[in-house]
Structure 1
Amino acid sequence: MNKKVLIGLTSILIACNSIIMTTVTNATPEENIEKSTIQIKELDKQIVDLKDELSNLNGEISQLDTKLKENKEEINKTEDNIKSTELQITKRKKIIEEKQEVLGKRLGSMYKGNLYSNPLLVVLKSDSFSDAISNIQAAVKIISLDKKLINDIDKEKEALIVNIDELNNKKDELKTLESSTQNSLEEIKSKKKSQQDALSKLSDEKKKASSIIEENENSLISHSVSVINSSTSSESAIKEAISTLKSLLPQINTSSVKNKAQNAINKGTSTLQSLKESNSNKGNSNTGNIDRGSSPAKKTYTMEATAYFDGLLTASGLKPIRNPAGLSTVAVDPSVIPLGSKLYIDGYGYAIAADTGSLIKNLRIDLYMNSREECYNFGRRNVTVSLIAYPNEW
């Protein structure tokens, strides 16, 4: 395993150990939630990096698999050529043996006194001078052909040996290449397995951290859900609960909590329809959100306000949003305003105290905006903050 992968896995394991250590402290629920959101952000970055690394490894594995396939095809082709050459060798050996046999017989007959073994004997045996010349020429030609035959036999032997040696060398090279490629493939697969194990561990840790976020989100919607589920709730209370859930819905991360909130909204809407039909002669009740004046503030603060944007996750695990017609996100000092409280801010609207900040201390508040330009335009100013409801009261 290379150094880069080892360093990456080491940092991941350190991060996981850090996460485990932070969850075993005797922290308050608010501190646990905030720590969980920090852990999730860190884990998400680690997970993204791991997935990128796994994607690269999958690409390398694919390339090596293709290389192995091509190499295997080349080995098979070479082995077929070797078999074909071996067949040719067998056939040529037979031809060579036949030629050697013919040559052997001819040479044997010459040594036994055949007329072609002695040119003088050829002349004496001839019937005429012209016949003698013809016989001598024939004898010389036979001797020349025999020499050529011997040379051809030697060359064929040498060519076959060279051919088979070249093919065997090529096969050995291909086998070596195959072994090297296979080793590289196994090494990358081992890296991939290590990365997948690390990814699995990170995912498990994220689930643990997310369970704390899920618990907090369930707590945020519990009051409104209980109002809708209660058979004694008034029409206005149900409308308020529906409005609250609709405002919270875009900020919730956990799918199971989203489903629970949506089911409660559906149930509340159905209940309102039934109440409307049974009380058709009573006219419509007050609709929508609570007006600040209709529900007295538990506390009122004059705070120095700044603005921020571009966040993915708040300290309470919710998604930050800016919704002037609904519920926006603000960052507070939890020692002044508990996280999960419902606020009304003059000039900004309703908000949930869902986030914190290192500079947000005492009577400071940070209002979430949809762009940097909105933050610049807002600047820094004093605002009146009314605490409408504490956590689990709305």
Structure 2
Amino acid sequence: MNHKKRMGKLLLAGLAASLTLSITPVQGSTLDTLTQEEKQTEARIASVEVTIGETLASINLKQMEIDDLEAQIAAAEESQSETKAAIEAQKEVITSRKEQLKTRLVALQTSDAMTNQILMLLDSENFADFISRAYVVGQLQAADNEQIESAISEEEKLVALEEQLADEIETVKVAEGRLKSESSALAEELSTLKDILSENQIVLSQVKTEYATEADRLAAEAAQAKADAEAAQAAANAAEEHVTIAESTAPSLQEGTVATPEPESQITDSSVAAVETAPVVTAPTVTEPPASQGKTMTVSATAYSRHEAGLSNFTATGIDLSINPMVIAVDPSVIPLGSIVSVPGYGIAIAGDTGGAIVGNKIDLHMEDLNAALAFGRQTLTITILQ
């Protein structure tokens, strides 16, 4: 009987020790896994933000090149218009001179001028005088011919210039089309990156929620295991004390007296019940409202810089301005956060920040250059929400 009681005591003590130690490795392994996943997600978000900043810079560079080509096209078309006007004017000059020459030739044939020129040559005193008079007559006719040839040559030059301008315009337009295509591809890439960033931010939020839930669950398990272990240890101590008392009183029993057997220690179901795993609550998926395509609006714009005293590198949505400086602060009820916005004179930016003073049709433009931000002042601009 004593042997059985001692075995029960040892079993209770072993159960208490196992309940105390079993939760520790599981807890550490689970939380380490979630921590590692959180770090990996944050690294992916940082990488995507860097790529977004580089893509925005490329889009703005392409837009500057497109603006420059459009200016070249406008100048070439204006020059082409002027050249066409000059060609038409020159054609009128040539036509006029041809009419004058035609009139003069007809007059010579129907008047005495031709006869007079012949008589003038016949009246030459000698051969040298004849040559001299013939030269004068030739010079008069050559002058008319030279004027017509000069006008025709000028017209040919203008026509060649017009063709050259047309070729230049065509070349620039081809380059402009290529840049617009590249800019469009970059815009699509930016949209994809934005979706990836949003997905990673949702994953990060879910991981953090799971980490907090798992930590609470494991803490509850540890507390329950500790309570069960303490209860088992208390039961073991009580059983040991009972055995000791029984052993000390055993010799005083009279012969023939039958000792009533003591009930054996029982391990209750509550002391060894398994702790149910709490369900993991995941964060609901948040879907951003789609921004209007090509929607324009007039806003009052000011500028700010992360280098101003008291300002942080991070926006209200978590964008690092030192990595991606092309960010504007908006009223989310007017321009949804995450929208891609084209701002004249500034470029393509992300609506990624808010502010207490940014209400209604007001925006703040982030500028890396503090002096440029201070010099910007307040301007009224017509912006376009691209997506």
Give the TM-score of the pair, scaled to structure 2.
0.44
Which is bigger in relative contact order (C-alpha 8 A, separation at least 6)?
2
Give the TM-score of the pair, scaled to structure 1.
0.44
